[in-house]
Every structure is written in structure tokens, then in C-alpha cells.
Structure 1
């Protein structure tokens, strides 16, 4: 089998590295995120199989004015980043046409259908079954009109293998107990899941990768193409796989590919659980407070509130107003979450049609890529690993990959 250099040590890179090792390849993983600050390890922990419909849609465009940060919403277009988000926005507008949206749904449906089975299989293989909690999640509203409209919208949406169910009286009471005021409505999703602890997942993946003979190098990767072949400076490999999140754009564009990707920056605040009797319940699945575009997730010993879509440059300074608003949301709702808070900001790698990029690069037969999973990097990591391994091995992937080829942006 061949030696493969995997560029990027986030959840997609680690899962794919493990799959390639299990297929008999030698794998060198290049990762410069020693502290685990990437979006892979700061997200909401949600296996979001319900999100079959791409966010590039007419419905998303219609809702933009009400979602703006300046109007109390979660969507921010920083003025200083206009040269980044304006070209992206124009491409998003084109990708939201009904025909493109329908094609995106058709492409995402089989990918999302395989997401949770792939996680089950991977968790079992690495001995981390306890990290995968298949208890669904809740969506709640405090306004009656918002509850009626939100429930109807989810019931009408394509949710693939996930289903929307009326919330039980017992679950409704549990959500009410968290808030200062009773909720006006809520639904429960079945067929979605949660990672119990992202730090523990990262450790488990690192251990599984090492146990299978993988080599990790803490360094930035210098990828080059010469004579129709890709290589990584200082590393002897036969094939190269780029799955470096938002950093993938610079790598692929230097090699001549069009990658109209933006950093879709998200924020979270996290607090330690100090009292199991009065804090956020350990057995409660994630709760989305949809009017505030906020998802609250209980991990093993912490609780986290996450939100915001901020389109800009990955290296721009974080905006403290986002953390302050999250803290205000928590206080306004009366949630049992108390500081001091750990504050985090990370970059989702997002392409304008809200489909990932998975395929073989043009101009170099030994160069592959898997990035651009936007909000679904955690959700799709395990299935992406299976698909890329099949592609590298010359087998037929279980899901058609043509819709995810970067050639769509050429």
C-alpha cells in the first residue's frame, strides 16, 4: 500500500487517517493545531443528520434581514471584511436558485444518511462507543408565533433519516425548568446524536491513530505540484490528502484551483458544572433556542452555549460583542449556567453552495481533498473518511462524489 500525507489534524483529517491506516496504508498526519483550537474541537457536538437542506436557499436569503447581528440576530457581515464576504455572497445568491438548491438536497441526502452509521462503526472500532449519544435533540421557542412557524417549517423540511416529533409533556417540563419563563413550543428530533465530550473524542482519535501505526508531525505542510505530481516538503509520501479546513483554500489555490471558501466564524462560551443538582442536567440532549440562534450542549463536566455566523477572514481578531451577547442570552433566559466563562471563536470552512469539497484534484493524480464541511464537519467526518479511503483505493465510493468536486467552481 502507499504512503499518504494527510494535511490537517481536525476531526476530518483524524478520522480519514484512521480509515486509511485500517485499509493498509502508511499515513503521516501534519497538524499545527497543538492546542486543539480548531472548529473541530469547539463546535456544538451535534451530529446534525437533520440538516439535509443546504443553507444556500431562497428561504435563507429571505430571512437575512431579520438575522443580522445589528438587529439582534446571529449573522454578522463585518465592514472590514467586505472584500471577503461580498464575492462569497454573490456566489451564495447564485447557488440559492431553486434548481441549484434541489440539486444540493439530492447530493446531501445520501451523504447525511450515511453519517450516523459511519460514526457508530468508527466509535466501535476505536473503543469509544460511550462518546456517541444517540438521544436526538430539542428545538424550543418562547414566542407563540415563532413556535408555530418554526414547528411548521421543520415539519415541512427535508430532514433525511432524522424525524421531527412532538415534544412529550415530561420533556416539555424539563425544558421549562431550565428557563425563567415557560417555552411556548418545542419539538424533539429523533435520529440525530451528540458527541459526549469533544476533548475526549480528540484524545480517542489520536490514540486510535497512533495505535494503528500512524505518524503525527506537528508542522505546517508545504504542498507543491511538479510534473503532474503532488508532494509535501520534507515528507516522503506517494499521495497527498488536503483536509485542513479553512487553510485548505490557500493550499489548493496555490496549486491552481478555484476555491471560493470563506471563514464562517462561530463563537461559544463554556462553563464548568459545579453542582449537578442545580446545573444543566447531564442526561439532557442539546437544546436549540431557535429565536436566539443558540444551541446549548452539556458535555461531561461543562456546558456550552454556541451561536453566530460571522463571515470574514480566519485571522481577523475575535469580536468580544459576540461573547457578551451569548452571556446576555443565557442570563435573559435564566439558564442554569454560571461563569466564569471560557470564551472561544473558531472558523467553519464554508463554500457558497454549502456543499463540502471531496474529490481528486485536477492536474495531479495523487492529490486528494476533503474540506468545506461548513457546520457539518463533525457530522460528516466519519463518512467522509470512508468515502475518501474508497476514492484513494480506486473503489467506488458509497455516495456519488461528483457534486462535491471542486470543478463545480471552475
Structure 2
């Protein structure tokens, strides 16, 4: 079939790869030639352990202790109130215990296949070395927070990942990297990392084109005529919306209710310096910050800021990241490059993956919040199954947009 995919981020690219590999004629339409989207600025973490959606009773209990103004990662700026005020009631409903349990089961079903799907996708792209499956660390500076955090992780459903005590030699290695005392640490196995996001994008685009795919660098205009979706200027049998935060406007044109918000994150990046090349990502949980070594850079990332995707960045967040790096004595230093990107987030922190009930030839895959990179490859497989009307590997009912109303 002829398939047009709106969006060339990681979900769109993986969907295009899966479809092109299956023999379909695929065009990806995307105007982010500079790769400013969240797909290319994230922490590179394949987070198989994050089975619990952030719409949870635990999030409600701790939110008042985590605002940006008090040193935490959560920010609901008053300047963005019109964007997040309507989001909150749906978030609160999704955080109720019964809804949270259902959401965890649904998200876990996707995460079960996330790492194998990435291993297959990296092999298709001809770059298996871009994926490392050697886990990550969580570190704590405060002993009381460490006890509570460790207990919470040991009690949590972490899916296919596993937890291990950090041995003395490992702890010494971590302590030599950090300029403050470490109260405790945990080692996760079964999670992974992309070692170079730019190289991954290049490899996927090259492999996609080698399979006959086309990438057009332009903005896409979705139209609905006679009950069918089309991208203006492009003929196709199927249209896939995988446009991240831009998906809301596109799907609302097709008559869908899409309560999606831009959940903005920030990072700083610098030359790798003395940071060990083989060290897995480090999560400094006291500071809600993850530090990742990529090919020749090190990146520190944090923050959950609900706002418009196009609002100006808040430089105080970059300043705080730089302060964290200084206070921790981490071995990477200015000059820093600064980035801000918008994660596409739905109130229940589940993605939207399905076939439109209104428009027969419209398929969608977006709203992956913090797990866009993690779930991209498995989502590509599900998009292919939807288009070929094959039974998907997981129940897609929890991810149907109809959950928000027709």
C-alpha cells in the first residue's frame, strides 16, 4: 500500500521502517530538518523499568514536594495556565487507584517487547552497536531519601528489568566520578541506551530510503474528504499521524478529542571530557536529573514543564542544571549547549496507538510522553499490524483515542 506518515521523529521513523521492510511504499513528511524535536534531545534511555504511568497515586502524594519553585522538577507556569488547566481533571481521574492499575498493565504490555523490538530495529538499520543493553544506575545523596527511594523501587513493578545491589567496586567507581558523598545506589539491568541519537536518526533514515522510502522535508496539511484522510499534495491509501505534540491539531481536524499537552524538558550538553565512555546512564534521584554519555558528549536532563510547545524557554531551568553539575562535581564543564523540547503527553500517560473510528484510512501513533524513544520500535511494529489488519501483539484497546470521548 501507499502510506503517508506525518512526522519524522523516532516514532514516525520506526513506523516507516517497519512498513518499508514489509514492502509498502512509504513517504514520511516532516519539516524538522534540524532535529529539534524531543526525539533527538532526550536522555537516550530505553526505560523498560518505567511500567508505572506518571498519572498515579504516588505522583499525587509527592507533587506538592516537587514544584520547581521549591527546587523540584515540576513546573506549571501561570503563563501556560490555559494549556494545562483543562488537562488536570483528566490527569486526576487517571491517577485514581483502579485507573492507575489498568494503565500500568497496559503500559507494561508495551514495555515487555520494547528492548527486543529495538534490537531488531537497530539490526535493520545496520547499526546494532548504537544500542547498549547494560542497564543504568540510580544514585542518592541523602540517606533518608535513599532508604525511601530504594524501598519504592524494590516494591515497584519494573517489568522485564531487574534490580541489583551495587557492589563495592562499582560504588567506588561511581564515587570517583561524583564530587559529593553517595548515600546509596541501585543498578538496573534489562534497560538500555542509545549511544548516539544523531547517528541513530541518520541510520534509520538511510535504511528507510534503502528500502524505497521517501522523506519530504515540508509541513503536512491533513484534509478529510468523503470520510477519507489525505495529505494535501500526496496520494496514499493510508495516512499515519505520528507528529508528536503537533498530532493534537491534526487529529482534531479529523474530529477526534485529543487532550494532549506539551510536557517540556530541558537539557545541557558538553564535551565528554573525562566521563567514562562505557558508563551507563546515571539518575540522580534527589535532583530528578539523568546524566548520559553519548558518543563524544555528556548530557544532563530534567524537568516536567507544562506549557505551550512554542512558548519561550525558561533559562532558569538550564541554570539549575548547570548548578547541579557544579555541585555534584561532575567531570564535564562549559561551554554547554542548551536544548528544550516538548514531550507529547496525554492525561493518563499512555500513548495513542490505533485506527481512527471516524476515518477508515487514518492510523495514529503519538503521545508517548517520556517513553517515545523506549516505545518507538515496538510502536512501529504495531502500526504495521494495524495497517495490514493483522492481530497486534498486544491489546490496543487501552490506547484507543475513544477513551477520551468521540
Task: Please give the TM-score of this superposition, normalised by the length of structure 2.
Answer: 0.99
Distance in 1 of aligned mates of 2:343 and 2:200: 19
- Other-structure match for 2:127: 128
- Other-structure match for 1:384: 379
Distance in 2 of aligned mates of 1:181 and 1:231: 56
- Other-structure match for 2:74: 75
Distance in 1 of aligned mates of 2:370 and 2:253: 25
Matched, 1:184 2:183: yes
Q: 1:341 aligns with which of 324, 336, 344?
A: 336
Structure 1 stretches of at least 4 aligned residues deviating more than 3 Å after TM superposition: none
- Other-structure match for 2:55: 56
Distance in 2 of aligned mates of 1:334 and 1:263: 32
- Other-structure match for 1:255: 254
Distance in 1 of aligned mates of 2:20 and 2:179: 50
Distance in 2 of aligned mates of 1:22 and 1:135: 28
Q: Do the aligned residues in 1 keep the contact of 2:254 with 2:359 (CA within 8 Å)?
A: no
- Other-structure match for 1:328: 323
Distance in 2 of aligned mates of 1:170 and 1:348: 37
SS in 2 for 1:213: coil
- Other-structure match for 1:14: 13
- Other-structure match for 1:401: 396
Task: Please give the TM-score of this superposition, normalised by the length of structure 1.
Answer: 0.98
- Other-structure match for 1:65: 64
Distance in 2 of aligned mates of 1:126 and 1:337: 31
SS in 1 for 2:223: strand
SS in 2 for 1:164: strand
- Other-structure match for 1:159: 158
Superposed displacement of residue 390, structure 1: 0.6
Alignment of 1:149-298 (within 5 A): 149-274=148-273, 279-298=274-293
Tell me, which stretches of 5 or more residues in structure 2 are unaligned? none
Q: Do the aligned residues in 1 keep the contact of 2:30 with 2:215 (CA within 8 Å)?
A: yes
Q: Do the aligned residues in 1 keep the contact of 2:239 with 2:363 (CA within 8 Å)?
A: yes
Q: Do the aligned residues in 1 keep the contact of 2:4 with 2:231 (CA within 8 Å)?
A: yes
Q: Do the aligned residues in 1 keep the contact of 2:272 with 2:293 (CA within 8 Å)?
A: no
Tell me, which stretches of 5 or more residues in structure 1 are unaligned? none
Deviation per residue, 1:72-128 (Å, 9 max, x gap) = 001111111111111111110011011100100111111100000000111112211
Superposed displacement of residue 182, structure 1: 2.0
Distance in 2 of aligned mates of 1:388 and 1:52: 21
SS in 2 for 1:359: strand
Distance in 2 of aligned mates of 1:224 and 1:214: 22
- Other-structure match for 1:359: 354
Q: Give the superposed CA RMSD.
A: 0.7
SS in 1 for 2:317: helix
- Other-structure match for 1:137: 136
